[in-house]
Structure 1
Amino acid sequence: MAETLNRPPFDPELEAALTLLAEQMPSTITPEMIPLMRQGMPGLDVSVDDSLAAAGVERRDVTIPGHNGDEIQVTVLRRQGSAGVGPGIYHTHGGGMIIGDRFTGLDLLLAWITEFDAVAVTVEYRLAPEFPDPYPVRDCYAGLVWTAEHAEELGIDPDRLIIAGGSAGGGLAAGVALIARDEGGPALAGQVLICPMLDDRDQTVSTRQIDGIGVWDRGSNVTGWSALLGDRRGTDDVSIYAAPARATDLSGLPPAFIDCGSAEVFRDEDVAYATALWAAGVQAELHVWPGGFHGFDMMAPHSVLAKAARAARDSWVARTLGD
């Protein structure tokens, strides 16, 4: 790999948090570490049901047809006792395409469910490398189709259905939005792309800057993309649905919210995607948080920068979902 470049500094408060995180998780995830990473990180495990109960949110697990008709699971989340029709949030979780489950990033969803009386559907898509592209994005698309088809039963207003995901989930959300556009699928009112993983080519300045440091560095990113795409990574044989940064026509997509940190691998591809959306006549709101590392708002939620990032995101969601 090329020499690491100077990078923007981490926010001082976040850098302190990063020092503690470094004791719990590696800077670089290699292929042989994937099974261990799937077992979760010590001290970070919180019961899903406890979190739901504390937020006053109820769950329902449903088995649905995924890619090729194979069975996958989704979980429907809504406020306890909520009735009637409200906005919908379809969620694709993060984890670099290789780790995580449908409850990764749950706290983000809980805030929107309780604040906006939304119904959320989060999908258990199959992970690489056991299930390489197109399984993850096609499982996610299948879940969106199911959600839209069952909107009335779920209490979702189909005109107020958005898709949201962080990291790999952000990339999958962008890919699903492209599939929905190209295949006449469900209409989306918006797409929330949180530090999205969009580009397999490993060519940006920011990927060279974040190498061996931070959360989800260049090496981890190569591990994730290689698991998803195998020998196709970096070649011309990669679908825009797997790597949305490769799309040359972004017209006709729903409005987007995109955010990332200034000190993370995905910075440049995320900025480029927002720029391409604007060039295609699509509305997009972009935030690059100064000194933010990847996933800082999840891993250091009490920091000043995380609170600002979440407030901006919540504001966009509130405006997009409307009343």
Structure 2
Amino acid sequence: MIIVLKNDDQTTIAELQQHFGNTNDVFVHNNRVAVQGITAADLSDSERVAAVELIDSVPKAVQGSREFHPEDTVIKTKHSIIGGDNFTMMAGPCSVESEEHVMKMAAVAKANGSTILRGGAYKPRTSPYSFQGLGEDGLKFLRKAADQYNMDVLTEVMDDEHVKLVAKYTDIFQIGARNMQNFSLLKAVGKTNIPVMLKRGMSATVDDILNASEYIAAGGNHNIMIAERGIRTFDNKYTRNTLDVGVVPVLQKLTHYPVIIDPSHASGHTEFVTPLALAGVAAGASGLVVEIHDDPAHALSDGPQALKPNEFKELSDKAFAIRELLTEMPQEQAEAGR
């Protein structure tokens, strides 16, 4: 449960920590104290008097709960600000294929408003015979390209054994959909101070993704963003997955973490990437992560969903225009009502 105190009363906070700390997990945020595994009946009369509001129906993901942490989490990296009132574009190839190619894609991403260069050096593939990535060489190429264009790096880490290596090159860890409930990996990135993009699993519920994020937060790392990349439904004939646009406002209500849309994996087909991306922006997402390639037909992975440079420019122009419109709309409405 979450106890909201009348003020930032350090004495009462200390008493609550001492009272419950030996047998329960206790978390503090300003005037809010979250205690795992108790109800209002477990509080003493004095503790009840100190509280403004007792919230019992709290999800297990206490630290990620908006009730516990009302303010938006804003993640700051060297070149990006993610969350809050900010909108962040992230783009790059699915896989790092060569130093020359990722450098070329970084130029395209940067020219169209991206501050984060994405790319996979270790690739989880459905078939063991598919391209698995360039490994550490890929990380080096990705880092060099990002530094060349003053961008941050976003790349996937696949298991806890790779966390230390990937941390040498990345600014943001990506936890892929297949690893959303790889709890050893979540614990490992939770022990770092490197931001984490946690992708929703293909069959994961909202509570599933929130509880997965709690594994990261429980380790002390609160620089978390949640990515919606499409879920498996009864129909995948025309799109690779089903983009759950409605989860954007739902997550924003339940959690303070930024919500990112991945239209590439949701659609699986180039022609649908831009419409789905724009739907995510209109729904209020904090950013987009998009796959781009100058020759998708010969891409080493996920070519059918990659945007060519001119297509990415169109998406980016429209996405930033929609975001600007949403930002200006309240003022325009106020002026119209005068």
Normalising by the residue count of structure 2, what TM-score does the alignment of the two structures yield?
0.31
Over alpha carbons, which structure has the higher Rg? 2
Q: Which has the higher contact order (CA 8 A, sep 6+)?
A: 1
Normalising by the residue count of structure 1, what TM-score does the alignment of the two structures yield?
0.32
